[in-house]
C-alpha cells in the first residue's frame, strides 16, 4: 500500500491507527525467555552484589549500584512472562509473584544500602536476596541445581 501524503486514504489512516496498537500488545511480553534473563541479567548482577568486598572508590560503588538496579528491573521483567515454553504459565502462579517480590525487595534494599555507602546493610540485603532464588527454583524448576 502506498501511503504518501497526497494519496492518504481512510485505509492508510486506519492502518496507522491499528499498527501501533498491535505492536504495543505484543511488546507487553518480553521477547526473551525467563531463563535468558536469569542467565544474562540476574546471575551476573547478583554475583556482583554477593561479591561486594569493602568497596571504596565511587567507581566500585557505581558498579554495585548498576547491578542492584538491574536486579530490581529484572524482578519486574520476570513477572511479565517471556518467550520460554512455560514462562507465561509460571508467572500466573501466586507463588511465583511472592518469590519475585522477595527478590525485588532485597534488590531495593541493596540499592538503598549502596546509595548510602553502607556495606553492612548491603551484606544483609544480599542474605535476603538468596532464599527466593532457591525457593523459586525448587518449586518451579527442580532441575535448576544449586542456585
Ligand atoms: C520467581 C522465580 C525465580 C526466582 C525468584 C529466581 N529464579 Fe532463577 N530460574 C527460575 C526458573 C523457573 C528457571 C528455569 C528456566 C527454564 O529452564 O526455562 C530459572 C533458571 C535460572 C538459572 C539457569 C539455570 C540453568 O542452567 O537452567 C540461573 C543461573 C538462575 N535461575 C539464577 C537465579 C538467581 C541467582 C536468582 C536469585 C537472585 C534467581 N535465579 C531467582 C525461577 C526463578
Top mutation candidate among 38, 45, 77, 82 for ligand 1, by most atoms within 8 Å of CB: 38
Q: What residues are in contact with ligand 1 under a 6 Å CB criterion? A: 33-35, 38-39, 42-43, 46, 78, 84, 90, 96, 99-100, 103, 129, 132-133, 136-137, 140-141, 144, 147
Domains of the chain, with CATH numbers? 34-81+90-146 (1.20.120.10)
Under DSSP, is residue 41 helix (H, G, I), strand (E, B) or coil?
helix
The length of the chain is 147
Instruction: Tell me what pLDDT residue 26 has.
Output: 59
Query: Which residue's alpha carbon is nearest to atom 31 within ligand 1?
Result: 38
Q: Which of 94, 133, 140, 146 to mutate to test the pocket of ligand 1 (most atoms within 8 A of CB)?
A: 133
Percent of the chain whose pLDDT exceeds 70: 80
Task: Note the pLDDT of residue 21.
Answer: 52
Separation of alpha carbons 107 and 130, rounded Å: 11
Among 16-20, 30-34, 71-75, 133-137, the minimum mean pLDDT is found in 16-20
**Residue 107 pLDDT class (50, 70, 90 cuts):** very high
How high is the pLDDT of residue 144? 81
Residue whose CA is closest, atom 24 of ligand 1?
144
Average pLDDT over residues 94-105: 98
Between 119 and 12, where is the model more confident?
A: 119
Distance, CA 7 to ligand 1 centroid (Å)?
A: 52
Q: How confident is the model at residue 28 (pLDDT cuts 50, 70, 90)?
A: confident
Q: For 49-99, how does the pLDDT look when each residue is reduced to its tens digit (9 = 90+)?
A: 999 999 999 999 999 999 999 999 999 999 999 999 999 999 999 999 999
CA 64 → CA 27, 43, 91, 127, 146, distances in Å?
29, 14, 28, 15, 23
Do 79 and 42 meet the contact criterion of CB atoms below 8 Å apart?
A: no
Going from the C-alpha of 21 to that of each of 13, 16, 26, 28, 33, the distances in angstroms are 13, 9, 9, 11, 23
Question: What cell was used for 132?
Answer: 527466593
CA–CA separation, 136 and 147 (whole Å): 10
Amino acid at each position: 500500500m502506498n501511503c504518501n501524503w497526497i494519496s492518504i486514504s481512510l485505509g492508510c489512516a486506519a492502518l496507522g491507527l491499528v499498527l501501533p496498537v498491535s505492536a504495543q500488545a505484543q511488546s507487553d511480553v518480553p521477547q526473551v525467555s525467563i531463563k535468558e534473563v536469569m542467565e544474562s541479567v540476574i546471575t551476573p548482577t547478583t554475583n556482583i552484589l554477593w561479591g561486594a568486598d569493602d568497596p571504596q572508590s565511587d567507581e566500585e560503588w557505581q558498579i554495585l549500584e548498576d547491578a542492584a538496579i538491574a536486579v530490581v528491573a529484572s524482578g519486574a521483567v520476570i513477572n511479565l512472562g517471556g518467550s520460554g515454553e512455560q514462562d507465561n504459565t509460571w508467572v500466573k502462579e501466586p507463588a511465583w509473584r511472592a518469590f519475585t517480590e522477595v527478590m525485588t525487595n532485597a534488590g531495593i534494599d541493596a540499592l538503598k544500602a549502596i546509595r548510602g555507602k553502607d556495606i553492612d546493610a548491603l551484606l544483609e540485603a544480599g542474605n535476603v536476596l538468596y532464599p527466593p532464588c532457591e525457593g523459586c527454583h525448587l518449586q518451579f524448576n527442580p532441575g535448576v541445581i544449586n542456585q
